A = this chain, B = another copy of it.
């Protein structure tokens, strides 16, 4: 393990965190009321100080490093960066909110930086504007991190980024040849920023107050889901705003490389993409089914209302954003079950969405069909093709291993959550795990969109914070930290 280099990279992460805190400090001067100001300034100055101190410490430890950067260094950097940032990001919450304990603050901070959007706070209206801004900005920064951060940070080293990206957003490695990494990273940053600008203008144009427009932009393009209002998008009661949100959530659930291709006018490339086709197909079918259900199952809604409500909830859940305009825990079990499964599906690889990811499911389904045929034709040779390319048996095996691993993590997490949450029904514990591991935010049952995670046990909140980071980094970067061989200096 090349500890000095890992340390230096962590220093860069801390520096970025310091900049984000500085922006929030400026917001505090500008927007916070005089009574709030003293508290928030103290909180953000402390946050900037802590992150600068950490950055300096990490740069000092990493002052002389070799260039050796391999997969283990990459995994270690990602895992530690997210865990550390979640801890330091908790400082403003614990300093500004008098009733927030450490577990609350760490949960909210992890939920922000992992773009999960699950909250332990029910009464958002008491938040000073600057803290609300940090809450939403952390999701935008986290989302940017998912799309390009690792690649951008590691670009100056020139090696490893490919492996890193392969781990972070599976399936699109071939796009990233060494020489093109830096330029691709810059383009992806522009896509992310451009998408944010467009989203913000659209919200603002639809009469959303400009502070809300900025905050919701942060949490829309990162499919993150924090809202400035306790009732989420229902607070605005505006069909136009809802449709704008639907469009940008759908875009943010796409592979950002595909969005780049669309911007470059390469539509044929996009249309030939298996994951794109599957994503749109699943989305449309789910929207139609849920909308039809809402229209005809005794809600008494108009067709327009049913379509809008169905589409919004389906898109929000499948892209693992987690905004809500309706309390779907009041629906009957079929549409709720569909939403629960959409959480599991998630968005495309290379997007900020969570879940298992479409490409993995496509591979799993095709492979299952092949397995059934192989059960009676043992010698049949048939390849699985995705995006016009034949998958190697190693790739298929990797996907299967990942699915088995995530199933184990789900089972283990539900059991562990049940240890502390003994008074809740099984569907609550199950959906708590889904909501956190797949970075969705709200769940069903007692953690529905109108509820929050505040009632959970102290230890549960800490465990769920780890689970959110684990889900965000697709398991390996966190699980590897628990593997002793990772920490050997030479190997």
Q: Which residues of A contact B (CB under 8 A)?
A: 70-72, 75-76, 167, 332-334, 336-338, 340-341, 344, 364-365, 367-368, 371-373, 375-378, 393, 397, 400-405, 407-408, 411, 414-415, 418-419, 421-427, 429-430, 444-445, 476, 479-480, 483, 485-486, 491
- Which B residues are CB-close (under 8 A) to A332? 422-423
A376 to B419, CA, bound (A): 32
User: Which of B333, B368, B483 touches A426 (beta carbons < 8 Å)?
Assistant: B333
* A400-B404, A426-B333 given; A415·B485 CB < 8 A: no
Residue contact B337 to A414, C-beta cutoff 8 Å: yes
Chain B's closest residue to A73 (CB) is B376
Chain B's closest residue to A75 (CB) is B376
Complex A-B, nearest 4 residue pairs according to Cβ-Cβ distance, in ascending order: A72-B376, A375-B476, A400-B400, A426-B427
A266 to B400, CA, bound (A): 37
* A375-B476, A415-B341 given; A408·B365 CB < 8 A: yes
Chain B's closest residue to A74 (CB) is B376
- Which B residues are CB-close (under 8 A) to A375? 71, 75, 167, 476, 479-480
User: Which of B75, B421, B426 touches A336 (beta carbons < 8 Å)?
Assistant: B426
A400 to B408, CA, bound (A): 12
* A368-B401, A407-B407 given; A426·B476 CB < 8 A: no
Residue contact A425 to B422, C-beta cutoff 8 Å: no
Residue contact A367 to B483, C-beta cutoff 8 Å: no
- Which B residues are CB-close (under 8 A) to A333? 418, 421-426, 429
A403 to B341, CA, bound (A): 18
User: Which of B376, B407, B411, B424 touches A71 (beta carbons < 8 Å)?
Assistant: B376
A425 to B491, CA, bound (A): 51
- Which B residues are CB-close (under 8 A) to A424? 333
**Which of A344, A364, A372, A425 counts the most B-chain CB atoms under 10 A from its CB?**
A372
A72 to B378, CA, bound (A): 9
Chain B's closest residue to A399 (CB) is B404
Residue contact A371 to B405, C-beta cutoff 8 Å: yes
* A341-B415, A364-B408 given; A334·B422 CB < 8 A: yes
A486 to B373, CA, bound (A): 8
A341 to B415, CA, bound (A): 9
Residue contact B72 to A377, C-beta cutoff 8 Å: yes
A90 → B minimal CB distance (Å): 27
A436 to B430, CA, bound (A): 20
- Which B residues are CB-close (under 8 A) to A368? 401, 404-405, 408
A250 → B minimal CB distance (Å): 23
Q: Provide a sorted-by-A list of 16 A–B residue pairs whose CB atoms are within 8 angstroms.
A: A75-B375, A333-B418, A333-B424, A334-B419, A364-B408, A371-B405, A372-B480, A375-B479, A375-B480, A376-B476, A393-B397, A397-B400, A400-B400, A400-B401, A403-B404, A425-B427
A129 → B minimal CB distance (Å): 39
- Which B residues are CB-close (under 8 A) to A418? 333-334, 337
- Which B residues are CB-close (under 8 A) to A445? 426
- Which B residues are CB-close (under 8 A) to A491? 377
- Which B residues are CB-close (under 8 A) to A373? 483, 485
Residue contact A337 to B404, C-beta cutoff 8 Å: no
A378 to B340, CA, bound (A): 34
Residue contact A426 to B167, C-beta cutoff 8 Å: no
- Which B residues are CB-close (under 8 A) to A336? 426
- Which B residues are CB-close (under 8 A) to A408? 364-365, 368
Residue contact A476 to B422, C-beta cutoff 8 Å: no
Residue contact A340 to B167, C-beta cutoff 8 Å: no
- Which B residues are CB-close (under 8 A) to A367? 401, 404
User: Which of B71, B344, B411, B427 touches A427 (beta carbons < 8 Å)?
Assistant: B427
- Which B residues are CB-close (under 8 A) to A72? 376-377
A367 to B378, CA, bound (A): 23
- Which B residues are CB-close (under 8 A) to A371? 401-402, 405
Chain B's closest residue to A297 (CB) is B422
A404 to B491, CA, bound (A): 33
A334 to B367, CA, bound (A): 35
Residue contact B425 to A483, C-beta cutoff 8 Å: no
A368 to B367, CA, bound (A): 19
A426 to B415, CA, bound (A): 17
A473 → B minimal CB distance (Å): 11
- Which B residues are CB-close (under 8 A) to A344? 411
- Which B residues are CB-close (under 8 A) to A486? 376
A408 to B367, CA, bound (A): 11
A423 to B298, CA, bound (A): 14
A419 → B minimal CB distance (Å): 6
